[in-house]
Chain A
Amino acid sequence: MAEHSPRRFTPQAQEALASPVIRQNFRGAMDYLRKARSNAFSDPVEADAVLAKAEAVRRRCLSQLPALLETLEQRCTANGIQVHWAETPAEANAIIRALCQREDAKLVAKGKSMVSEEIGLNKHLAGLGIDCRETDMGEFIVQLDGDRPSHIIMPAIHKNKDEISATFEQHLPDFEATRDVDQLIAAGRQALREKFQAAEVGLTGVNFAVAETGTLCLVENEGNGRMCSTIPRVHIAVTGIEKVVEQLSDIAPLYSALTRSATGQAITTYFNMVSSPRRPGEWDGPEEVHLVLLDNGRSQAFADDELRQTLQCIRCGACMNHCPVYGRIGGHAYGTVYPGPIGKIISPHLLGLDDAGELPTASSLCGACGEVCPVGIPIPALLQRLRVEAKHGASAGHPPLKGQGAKANRLEALAMKGFAWLARHPRCYRAGTWLARRLAPFYPRRLGAWGQCRVTPKPAPKPLSQLLKEQRRV
């Protein structure tokens, strides 16, 4: 499978658009998820209240971020959880590698973690002979295929059951092709239960890290996250620094907003709150728990009042479920770990505007993402902001972003200057439109990229001012 890259966004998007299967798989999934979310928020008064609270909690916690991170570390340490800090993916990988090697681990059982995708952990460990096995059903399927997740909540959303059956036939011994989802899941369960027993290390993400009590919260339906944080001797949790919340009471509204936005569930099957490694007298649970806190561009977003809102994200995926662009090109086309609208505003901080600067342009700014975001991230406004930063140097009082101004385009800048000049000089503007009207009979029916599916628009013979003069003698 070819490596996707945000630099190749346009050809990747074209490839996806050309595939009727991808279009169909995504349309079906989007319809399902939108309906589920809308049912879960059927009472608008109640919905407004819980979402306003969730947004307020995220804002408050971010406003105290450095202090909360220190409290989190103190409480975790007091509870026996070892805390590690990583500025970059390489540092995070080095920390996790060292822990695995100290355990002499051959197999890591991994629960769903977008941060582990962000740092490329599987590949890193594979290079050292350590098998890092995805255990979330969707992630498991995607990994068997040597593929990547295309959605942050439903990683195998781009595949239908026939394709998954074919994948299992290829990779699982004694598997017989089936279209029965229960049988497919049973086959995955069987394969993975062996992994849970054998793994020396379990690795998971974190949905909320509570500073007040030093507690790591994991949200899931399958139980694989519980397996990874219960069965192996060592549990490593890896998360971005923005996931910390101030107090226990903060997680109730966030959890409700998260599950309802993501899949329309009032609650997930499991909410797993880990506060320490196994204590004396206990018979199960990991003997060591480690927390790896990753920055990777987050402190850059944090430095700017507007862009900081990016960090409010609780990774529910509602923005992608409602995005007309994502729904048509799918998750892979973006070439980034986080696809869709939220990916377009996160990736520039993670990768820099030189790599990811094209992504913020891939939006019609329709605003559907901002409308459904449970924590009030103004995604369209941030897309627009990143368009500015991609094309210009940093303005006074703002530290430059990574790749600041990388998409500056002299021709476009000149055209925009010309447009602005014309718009400020009505006589010349009218002369221009007069010319456009005169030339209208000579326009080709199909003009440029626009003309691939639309005819060229034809100006009316007379402008409004002239019609007014003629018809109303103004």
Chain B
Amino acid sequence: MSEAKNRILARLRQVNPSAPERPEQPYAPYLGEDAPARLARFCSRLEAAHAEVVRCPQQSLAAQLQAMVKGASLTRLLAGNDGPFSAAISQAGGSRLSCFDKPMSEFKAVLFTDVDAGISQAWGAIADTGTLVLWTGPNEPRSLSLVPPVSIIIVAASAIMDNFAQLLAKPQCRQGLPTNLLLVSGPSKTADIQQTLAYGAHGPRQLYVVVVEDC
């Protein structure tokens, strides 16, 4: 198919479009005044998007998760291999918790039908839009936040950035994006039927976010 490529590029190269004359203005999205303002905006935006947000210190994270699991009657939990909050997750999940440590093809049906909730650990967050940033990989499988009907995402307050542009400017992004970098800003939704908002279109119906305030 390289012939098609050569022909397309040859046609495009025949043209010599001039670069735009006007200089581009810098893009200046939301900037938080300080950490509390950022945190407040992050939480209120997420809540407006129908997520349930709780804040807690690191030492009560396990208890918080436990209460959440109990409150929502979640019996089968799935989490990634390793991450900053893995100890608390294990403690809270106990025997209900399994670890995503084998290829998905080996337990696709279980993932789709049996697992109640996936627990993810966010790499960062964006205050402007109330967004969680998931840096997926071996320890953080991408389907955790997609397939189970409930998604629980834990994020450190210190990881909250002001806006999306700041995320994209991070050297980690420019030098080596993961297989799949994900922004999540609420539970799955659709307004495709008569502009009526409904949650749980294909992904999670519910999104619980735990903000760990002191880390």
Q: Which A residues form the contact surface with B (CB < 8 A)? A: 25, 28-29, 32-33, 49-50, 52-53, 56-57, 59-60, 62-66, 69-70, 73, 84-87, 91, 95, 135-138, 141, 154-156, 159-161, 164, 181-182, 184-186, 188-189, 192-193, 196-197, 212-213, 215, 221-224, 226-227, 229-231, 233, 241, 248-249, 251-253, 255-256, 263, 266-279, 281-285, 293, 295, 299, 302-303, 305, 308
CA distance A381 to B113 in the complex (A): 54
Which residue of A has the minimal Cβ distance to B103?
A283
Given A59-B20, A159-B194, A295-B8, 17 extra CB contacts under 8 A? A33-B195, A53-B25, A60-B20, A137-B190, A138-B190, A161-B194, A181-B196, A193-B202, A212-B174, A221-B191, A226-B146, A267-B185, A273-B182, A279-B137, A282-B179, A285-B179, A293-B8
B198 touches A181 (CB 8 A): yes
B183 touches A267 (CB 8 A): yes
| Chain A residues with CB under 8 A of B190 | 137-138, 185, 221-222
Is B70 located at the chain interface by the 8 A CB criterion?
no
Q: Which of B5, B163, B174, B201 contacts A137 (CB 8 A)?
A: B201
Is B71 located at the chain interface by the 8 A CB criterion?
no
Question: Smallest CB–CB gap between B126 and chain A, Å?
Answer: 8
| Chain B residues with CB under 8 A of A85 | 1-2, 4-5, 8
Q: Which of B7, B25, B179, B188 contacts A275 (CB 8 A)?
A: B179
Please, could you name 29 A-B residue pairs with CB atoms under 8 Å apart, sorted by A? Answer: A28-B194, A33-B195, A53-B27, A56-B22, A65-B12, A66-B9, A69-B8, A87-B7, A91-B1, A137-B201, A161-B194, A193-B202, A212-B174, A222-B192, A223-B203, A227-B146, A229-B180, A230-B146, A231-B143, A248-B169, A267-B131, A271-B183, A275-B180, A279-B179, A282-B141, A283-B104, A283-B141, A295-B4, A302-B17
Contact A60/B24 with A231-B143, A277-B179, A283-B141 known, Cβ cut-off 8 Å: yes
Which residue of A has the minimal Cβ distance to B100?
A283
Which residue of A has the minimal Cβ distance to B126?
A267
Contact A86/B131 with A185-B198, A249-B168, A269-B185 known, Cβ cut-off 8 Å: no
B188 touches A303 (CB 8 A): no
A253 touches B27 (CB 8 A): yes
CA distance A118 to B190 in the complex (A): 24
| Chain A residues with CB under 8 A of B102 | 283
| Chain A residues with CB under 8 A of B137 | 279, 281-282
- The count of A-to-B residue pairs whose CB atoms sit within 8 angstroms is 261
Q: Which of A189, A249, A267, A275 contacts B201 (CB 8 A)?
A: A189
Contact A63/B29 with A85-B2, A86-B1, A192-B202 known, Cβ cut-off 8 Å: no
Q: How many residues of B contact A (CB 8 A)?
A: 79
Q: Which of B103, B165, B184 contacts A270 (CB 8 A)?
A: B184
Is B129 located at the chain interface by the 8 A CB criterion?
yes
Q: Which 8 A-B pairs have the closest CB atoms?
A: A223-B203, A138-B192, A222-B201, A271-B183, A85-B5, A281-B138, A267-B129, A284-B104
| Chain B residues with CB under 8 A of A266 | 45, 128-129
| Chain B residues with CB under 8 A of A53 | 24-27
A252 touches B4 (CB 8 A): no
Contact A226/B203 with A53-B25, A60-B19, A303-B15 known, Cβ cut-off 8 Å: yes
Is B56 located at the chain interface by the 8 A CB criterion?
no
